[in-house]
Structures are given as C-alpha cells and as structure tokens.
C-alpha cells in the first residue's frame, strides 16, 4: 500500500490515500495499534462507533484482523433515530448488531434505545454510561453538511452542557438516508434523533474520522480551510489534541 500524503491543519492530522480501500486499511491499522497500546496500560478500553457507508470496510477490516481482544472492550455508539425499533434495518442498533456485535464478543455493547418510552430518560441513562466508560477511541464519519454524529449545523454547540440530547434532523441529512437506500421515502425518515454531543466526542482520548468520496469534497474543504464554526461542525476536530482524518483522493480533491 502506497504511503498516504500527510497534512497537519491546526492540531488535525490528515492522511490522504489513493483509494477508499487503502484509506480503510490505513485507518484500521492505526485503530488496532492504538487499542493494543491502550490495553497494555489498562484492564479495558472503551470505543464509541459510528455507522454509515464510510465505516463499513473499516469495521470489516478491524474485526477480520482478529488482533483485538474484544473481551476487554466496552462499545457504545454515536446516535440513533428517535422512535425507531431495534429490529428495523434502518436503525443503527440493527447496523451495529449485525455488522459488529454478532461477530465479536465484547465486554459490553451499550446501545442507544431509539424507541425508549421516555427519550429524555434515555439520554440521561446514556450519559451515565458515558461517564462510567470514558472514551479511549471514537470512530467518526463526516456528514454531507459537516455534521458529526447528528450534531447538525443548526443544533451543534461546541459548549453544549449536555452529553446526549434529542435533535431535529436537517432535511439534507434525511434525503441522504433515502438516496443510500435506508428508507424508501423522505417521509419515512425520522425527523428527530438522539445524539452524543460535540463536547462528548471531543472528550475522547483519540479520534479516527473517515471521510471518503467525491460527495464529501466541498465539506472537507470547508472543514479544513474555512472557519472553525458550528456552521461546519466537523471543523472543531482541528482543535482536538489527537485526531486523524482519513481522506481519499476524491474527498481531498479541492484541497
């Protein structure tokens, strides 16, 4: 595999690979080595996972390597649609159960319950879990509108007092879910979601962020060359002390 081109913008290390395949292998290798290092120094580790198409190959490689002692890993995830059932194929619980949990045996897998009867209580429950399991590694993607998790530009708060909250989804985000085939119609996409907040993400000791594809090029340009602002929530990663952004040549083409 050809070595990536490396840029450092503010505190953010950016690696640019020839292809999404190389990007996924590079990110998985760095993630696996970091987890091994963490487990050398502590009894267990916590990883918070993203979902979405950008994560598929990365997760497959990470799991297939069989180099991680998952029995010492506590897993959480970033977000979930409000009101959606866990057996709905569009839910992130379903995605993670099928693609991750069924293939490994983690110490714990802690899901955000989208169809909880009391969503605010669910936010509180998940907040307690996040406080119980400080995040060693956060795996992220970047939305077309620059969102991290479901911290959309109109609701992202870099000084958010909440760890987990309920947000209204941007129309652009909802349309992406239709185009990717997760829902048949725009009306079927939930209007609201539960999400961990920006400060929660930034509390992670290390962040790996994957953003491949030509459709992310404009967003990446704004993220890296524009102002650090909630208008592009992902721009805040430039201030995190240990984040690596993984791009392919298509997503980096405007840099």
* pLDDT, the chain, mean: 95
Whether 1 has a pLDDT exceeding 80, the answer reads no
pLDDT of residue 251: 97
Q: What phi and psi, each to the nearest 5 degrees, are found at residue 106?
A: -75, 165
pLDDT-based confidence at 61, cuts 50/70/90? Answer: very high
**Would you say domain 5-251 falls under CATH 3.40.50.1360?**
yes
Consecutive H or E run containing 125: helix 119-132
pLDDT of residue 176: 85
pLDDT-based confidence at 178, cuts 50/70/90? Answer: confident
Whether 54 has a pLDDT exceeding 90, the answer reads no
Give helix 56-64 / helix 20-41 axis angle, nearest 10°: 50
Q: Which of 22, 74, 110, 145 is catalytic?
A: 145
Whether 181 has a pLDDT exceeding 90, the answer reads no
Tell me how crowded residue 177 is: count the other CB atoms within 10 A of its CB.
18
Whether 65 has a pLDDT exceeding 90, the answer reads no
> Is 80 noted as a catalytic residue in this protein?
no
> Is 79 noted as a catalytic residue in this protein?
yes
> Is 152 noted as a catalytic residue in this protein?
yes
Whether 53 has a pLDDT exceeding 90, the answer reads no
Tell me how crowded residue 150 is: count the other CB atoms within 10 A of its CB.
27
Which residue from 143, 132, 62 is spatially nearest to 103, judged by alpha carbons? 62
Cα-trace Rg, the chain = 17
pLDDT of residue 226: 97
Q: Which of 136, 152, 170, 248 is catalytic?
A: 152
Query: Can you give the pTM of this predicted structure?
Result: 0.95
Q: Region 97-122: what's the mean pLDDT? A: 96
Summarised one tens digit per residue, pLDDT across range 128-163 is 999 999 999 999 999 999 999 999 999 999 999 999
Q: Roughly how many angstroms between the first and final C-alpha of the chain, as a whole number? A: 22
pLDDT of residue 180: 84
Q: What phi and psi, each to the nearest 5 degrees, are found at residue 193?
A: -150, 160
Q: Which of 25, 79, 182, 240 is catalytic?
A: 79
Which residue from 216, 201, 209, 212 is spatially nearest to 243, judged by alpha carbons? 209
């Amino acid at each position: 595999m050809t070595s990536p081109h490396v840029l450092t913008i503010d505190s953010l290390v950016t690696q640019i690979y020839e292809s999404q395949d190389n990007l996924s292998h590079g990110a998985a290798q760095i993630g696996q080595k970091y987890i091994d290092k963490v487990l050398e120094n502590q009894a267990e580790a916590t990883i918070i996972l993203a979902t979405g198409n950008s994560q598929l190959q990365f997760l497959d490689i990470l799991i297939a390597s069989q180099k991680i002692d998952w029995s010492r890993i506590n897993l959480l995830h970033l977000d979930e649609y409000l009101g959606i059932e866990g057996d709905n194929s569009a839910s992130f619980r379903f995605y993670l159960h099928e693609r991750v949990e069924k293939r490994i045996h983690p110490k714990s897998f802690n899901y955000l319950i989208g169809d909880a009867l009391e969503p605010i209580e669910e936010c509180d429950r998940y907040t307690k879990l996040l406080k119980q399991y400080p995040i060693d590694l956060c795996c992220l993607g970047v939305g077309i509108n620059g969102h991290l998790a479901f911290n959309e530009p109109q609701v992202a708060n870099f000084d958010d007092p909440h760890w987990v909250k309920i947000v209204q989804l941007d129309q652009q985000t909802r349309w992406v879910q239709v185009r990717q085939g997760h829902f048949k119609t725009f009306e079927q996409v939930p209007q609201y979601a539960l999400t961990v907040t920006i400060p929660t993400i930034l509390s992670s000791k290390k962040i790996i962020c994957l953003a491949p594809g030509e459709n992310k090029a404009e967003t990446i340009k704004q993220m890296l060359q524009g102002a650090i602002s909630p208008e592009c929530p992902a721009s805040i990663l430039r201030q995190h002390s240990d984040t690596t952004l993984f791009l392919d040549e298509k997503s980096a083409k405007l840099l």
